[in-house]
Structure 1
Amino acid sequence: MGADWAPVILAAGLFILLSPGLLFQFPARFRVVEFGNMSTSGISILIHAIIFSCILTILLIALGIQIHFN
């Protein structure tokens, strides 16, 4: 009954990297993209959540990482 931690670690890493305002924010308040501004907005959170979901899904399918529920 071993746990597969790869999807959890991958999701946590992507969540941290794709947090709005940490590395970049799309869309930003004054420009289309701002880097390292450490601020956020509602639409930015929505767009980053969509980007996170798409990248996570593609990586999990491409790498063949499976989540097993026992």
Structure 2
Amino acid sequence: MADWGPVLVATVLFVLLCPGLLFQIPGKNKVVEFGNMQTSGASVLVHAIIYFGLITIFCLAIGVHIYASQ
């Protein structure tokens, strides 16, 4: 049996936390900008830290597991 929980969590978080897709912290003109589809080095770093924190919480602390059997 394969555990697809971490794969699913990582994929969903990666899509949702792409800088500029839903929001960007820090933005070009404001602290938080929504849906501007732009990015900067600082926002990539902030989103990477948020991504690491959330994936650690979901995969290690909560222990999300999704098993797929054939």
TM-score relative to the length of structure 1 = 0.85
> Within 2, Cα distance between the matches of 1:52 and 1:4?
20
Displacement of 1:25 in angstroms is 0.2
Runs (4+) of structure 1 exceeding 3 A deviation are none
| Larger RCO (CA under 8 A, 6+ residues apart) | 2
Displacement of 1:4 in angstroms is 0.7
| Equivalences, count | 65
Residue in 1 aligned with 2:68?
none
Residue in 1 aligned with 2:14?
15
1:4-45 deviation digits (Å, cap 9, x = unpaired)? 111101100000000000000000111100000000001100
**Aligned residue type for 1:46:** L
**Is 1:29 matched up with 2:28?**
yes
> Within 1, Cα distance between the matches of 2:10 and 2:63?
14
SS at match of 1:38: coil
% identity of equivalent residues: 57
Residue in 1 aligned with 2:51?
52
* Structure having the larger proportion of residues in strand: 2
> Within 1, Cα distance between the matches of 2:43 and 2:26?
6
Structure 1 stretches lacking a partner, 5+ long: none
- Alignment RMSD (CA, Å): 1.2
**Is 1:5 matched up with 2:25?**
no
